[in-house]
Amino acid sequence: MAEKILIVYAHQSAGSFNAAAKDAAVKVLTSQGCKVEVSDLYAMKFKASATAEDVTGTVKDAEHFQYGEETMLAWKEGRLSADITEEHRKLSEAAVVIFQFPMYWFTVPAIMKGWMDRVLTLGFAYTSEKRYSQGIFKDKKAMLSFTTGSHESMFSANGINGDMNVTLWPLQNGILHYCGFQVLAPQIFWAPPHIPSEARCSMLEAWRTRLEGLLGETPLYFTPSDSFDGGRGFQLKEDIQEKHAANKFGLTVGTHLGKPLPPNSQIKAGV
């Protein structure tokens, strides 16, 4: 059976580099026999704000509206708004999700954050028991593919923007891995507006080459959920801490044990 790929795409211009990257992914993955579906958020006029309008019918507690609880109940009862329900269908069917976007203010554009806020519904995408390595989407893969406005050197450990590994941690760990996704290394297109056209063509060609083997890639490493003790406030278990006490680097960007961060752990697999 052909793998189903969902591309969540956020750019307003069909002539943009992001559009070219999205089109390349559709073409290469389709040529491999994959079934590719694109959620073009701007074209869809996707609503970015998570509000009570996402629930059809009467909410449980209008006076003290709690978005997570209300949408979870609405999901269980089939009362979510049609746009969320349609994205749930796409996400449920997809084996791989690619987020294609220009980095805005060190994160995703508001319309894509809105997709994450509204589509990754409590109950459907995660629960307090089913998250991280035990998450609901643990059999699915996800990745970020994005352009930056700054050169790679500016996002280095010595650069003015800071280490890109740190920048990516909230997105890759706090959203994708939190929902259980196996997170593939990001595809970063460094500063396409500020480089020659030949360099942009080379970046797209490298992306096409990567796409040919994308489905077989090894995901990034995140500390497994069972390494943390729920009875101690989900702190890293003492035996795990002792096991890694002599290591030069911490486990991850977030769980670093007060040690230097593992190099490029949010950018390259197996590092």
pLDDT level of residue 2 (50, 70, 90 thresholds): confident
**Helix residue spans in 45-183 (DSSP H):** 67-77, 82-93, 110-119, 164-171
Q: Say which residue the tokens 């360099």 belong to.
A: 199
Q: According to the model, what pLDDT value does residue 149 have?
A: 97
Q: According to the model, what pLDDT value does residue 1 have?
A: 63
Q: Which residues pair with 6 in a beta bridge?
A: 37, 97
CB 11 within 8 A of CB 101: yes
Structure tokens of 121?
């519904």
Q: How far apart are the first and last CA of the chain?
A: 32
Q: What is the pLDDT of residues 65-114, one digit of tens each?
A: 999 999 999 999 999 999 999 999 999 999 999 999 999 999 999 999 99
Distance CA 115, CA 100 (A): 13
Q: Which residues pair with 236 in a beta bridge?
A: 228
Q: According to the model, what pLDDT value does residue 231 have?
A: 83
Residue 19 one-letter amino acid:
A
Q: According to the model, what pLDDT value does residue 148 have?
A: 98
Q: Which of 115, 121, 125, 119 is nearest to 41 (CA)?
A: 115
Q: Where are the domains of the chain?
A: 4-217, 221-271
Q: Say which residue the tokens 């209008």 belong to.
A: 62
Q: Say which residue the tokens 């507690």 belong to.
A: 61
**pTM score of the predicted model:** 0.96
Query: Which CATH code for domain 4-217?
Result: 3.40.50.360
User: DSSP letter at 32?
Assistant: T
